[in-house]
A and B are shown apart, each in its own frame.
Chain A
Amino acid sequence: MIQLSGVTKRYKSLTAVQQLSLEVPKGSFLGLLGPNGAGKTTLVEMIEGLQVPDEGEIRIDGLNWKEHGQQLRKLVGLSLQETRFMEKVTVKETLDLFASFYNLPRSRSDEVMQMVELQEKSKTYTVQLSGGQRQRLALAVALLHKPALLLLDEPTTGLDPHARREIWYLLQQLHQEEKTTLVLTTHYMEEASYLCDRIVIMDKGQVLADGNLRQLLNTFAPGEYIEFKTPLPMSLSKLEKLQGFMSLLPAAEPGFVRLKVKESAIALPPLLSLLQSESAELLSLECRKSTLDDLFLNLTGRRLEE
């Protein structure tokens, strides 16, 4: 569906996107994950034809913006990072207006309004919408002309968890029922983990890692974490003998011990019996799998969400 080769975009001395190549097959749900300033917006806006790359080539369904702009505009649906609409215009009027831009009948705006469940807000001014409702309106506008490719720039940033879930639900439906090819950008790792069948991690205008969640974690952030608290000091030599032990990590607070192991289900029973034999009281215990954040930390030394 999308082919990028060697795409570069510079702003004066800053290179926002650097020699980026990527192929997105039809029907995939791709997440572009990266911290603020990674170049996600610049990249999707180049795919949307709103910015022109300084170098490289972008093809969508074999078409390019220079020659096939009008065809592509019909193919691509998009929501921008933080679009605001005309304030004293209602939801329905906004949709009708955009429907007219695509030469679509007004009945279509009712359909999309239903899809994003904004019927009750039909006569509400756009300024009076909540953040989540506004994002759903932006999504509805993007869906008007039934695009085969949908590009969403941070569709859930700044939303509360409930509103975020609602958007996630809508996107999953689109992906499964309409077979729309979806690309979304986010700096929330849960969002990418939960929704996307393929995650591209970006930083400083480049791709750091690319694959589905399993592959990425196995390759770049193997292992799981066990963290516990006990009043007695634990000796490294004994911990090292645990099955699947990988490393001892600096603990967040004194009294805590942080271990990285291959699989916590295997390492945990011997750890518990070790503690018992030392008659060390267990004050707290926590296990977690590694996340995209750990992966990002491993790759860049920085955290994803800050």
Chain B
Amino acid sequence: MALAAVLGFAFSKSSPEKEIRVAWVSSDQPNDLNERLREISTVRLSMATESEALTLLKRGKVDIIIRQLGDSLVFAYDPQHEAAHQAALQIELSLLKGTNTVQIPLKREVIKQSGMRYIDFLIPGLLAMGIMNSCLWGIGYTLIDYRIKKLLRRMVATPMPKTTFLASQLITRGLIAAFEFMVVYLFAYFLFGVVVQGNWLAILVLFASGIFAFSGMAVLIASRAANSQIGNGLINAVYLPMSIVSGIFFSYQGFPDWMVSIIQWLPLSLLADHIRMVFNEGASLDQVAFPSLLLGMLGLICLSLGLKIFKWY
């Protein structure tokens, strides 16, 4: 049910009524061109300096940058980004139609710089989602499967400490996820020139805290489920909503503000946003320290709660 609602939202957002988020860059004072853009009901205009506009674009907060350069308007966006492309066409159309058409020339600029393209937005998100995937399904499903097979019960009947067992799950999963991460990254690097502009150490810290957070969630989810349908359902209930709303494929900035203020704190959003910041904005270790700490704490809370109610037998 919740899922249907979320999907409904996502769909309604991709309909023609979808809000178009635009950064406006101009050295002039707000003028009538500016007014014309504002009049288009679907446009949400953010006034920005050149560098602010670039950051907004990198974070998916805007899809298009419109610059007023001399006596022309330049639309800058990545045509590979379907939503941005559609939005630009729509704005052009509204500016040119009606009695009061805009007189100055409209130009397009294709964004090609690494760090600003749609692929630069997409890949860090996919990497974050890969971490979530690997942990929730890898650990969550394994634990439930072992419980169904009575293997958990058989294992705790040996002198091996339970913590050793869980730690080994976490380490194994971390190694597998690291391998998957590198495969996707190298693929993106060689094929699309996606690069990490920031510190690899920051990536490592985010990666580790992500693994910990989602492993903790996996343990909590799997703490009592005794059959695979319930297990599947629980994992999906966490996994699907986040993979849709957390800004992996399209920016969550298109959701209403009150939702954005919640979504940005979801673990997957935190992870994806900050991995993206390190990739595209060159964020440093300090800048990812806080979100990493939050993720780590989430992991710790879930893990201790999960262990408290964990059904070994």
Contact = CB atoms under 8 A, between A and B. Distances in A.
Interface string A85-128: 11000000000001011110000000000000000000000000
Interface in B134-181: 146, 149-151, 153-160
Given A50-B313, A51-B313, A83 B154 contact: yes
A84 interface: yes
Contacts of B153: 50, 80, 83
A196 interface: no
Given A50-B313, A51-B313, A80 B159 contact: no
Interface string A31-73: 0000000000000010011110000000000000000001001
A129 to B, nearest CB: 14
Contacts of A200: none
Interface in A253-293: none
| Interface size class, chain B | 10 to 19
Q: Which of B151, B156, B159, B313 has the most CB of A within 10 A?
A: B159
B159 A84 contact: no
Nearest to A86: B151
B155 A101 contact: yes
Given A73-B159, A102-B159, A141 B150 contact: no
Nearest to A151: B157
B147 to A, nearest CB: 11
A98 B158 contact: yes
Contacts, number: 44
Contact of B149 (A51, A83, A100): A83
A127 B310 CA distance: 27
Contact of A101 (B146, B149, B158, B313): B158
Q: Which of B149, B151, B157, B160 has the most CB of A within 10 A?
A: B157
A183 B158 CA distance: 18
A50 to B, nearest CB: 5
B313 A73 contact: no
A78 B157 CA distance: 8
Contacts of B159: 70, 73-74, 101-103
Q: Which of B146, B155, B158, B160 has the most CB of A within 10 A?
A: B158
B158 A80 contact: no
A294 interface: no
A76 B313 CA distance: 17
A210 interface: no
A82 interface: yes
Contacts of B313: 45, 50-51
Interface residues of A, number: 23
Interface string B214-236: 00000000000000000000000
- Prevailing SS type, chain A contact patch: loop
Q: Which of A45, A50, A103 has the most CB of B within 10 A?
A: A50
Nearest to A98: B158
B150 A83 contact: yes
B227 to A, nearest CB: 14
Contact of A141 (B149, B154, B156, B160): B154
Given A50-B313, A51-B313, A84 B150 contact: yes
A66 to B, nearest CB: 15
Contacts of A50: 153, 156-157, 313
Contacts of B155: 101
A51 B156 CA distance: 12
Interface string B247-283: 0000000000000000000000000000000000000
B150 A80 contact: yes
Nearest to A76: B157
A78 B158 CA distance: 10
Contacts of B150: 80-84
Contact of B154 (A49, A70, A80, A102): A80
Contact of A73 (B146, B149, B151, B157): B157
Interface in A190-244: none
A164 B144 CA distance: 31
Contacts of A85: 149, 151
Contacts of B156: 50
B149 to A, nearest CB: 4
Q: Which of A73, A83, A100, A101 has the most CB of B within 10 A?
A: A101
Contacts of B149: 83-85
Nearest to B149: A84
Interface of A: 45, 48-51, 70, 73-74, 76, 78, 80-86, 98, 100-103, 141
Closest 5 CB pairs of A and B: A101-B160, A101-B158, A84-B149, A73-B159, A83-B150
16 contacts: A45-B313, A50-B153, A50-B313, A51-B313, A73-B158, A74-B159, A83-B149, A83-B150, A83-B151, A85-B149, A85-B151, A101-B155, A101-B159, A102-B158, A102-B159, A103-B159
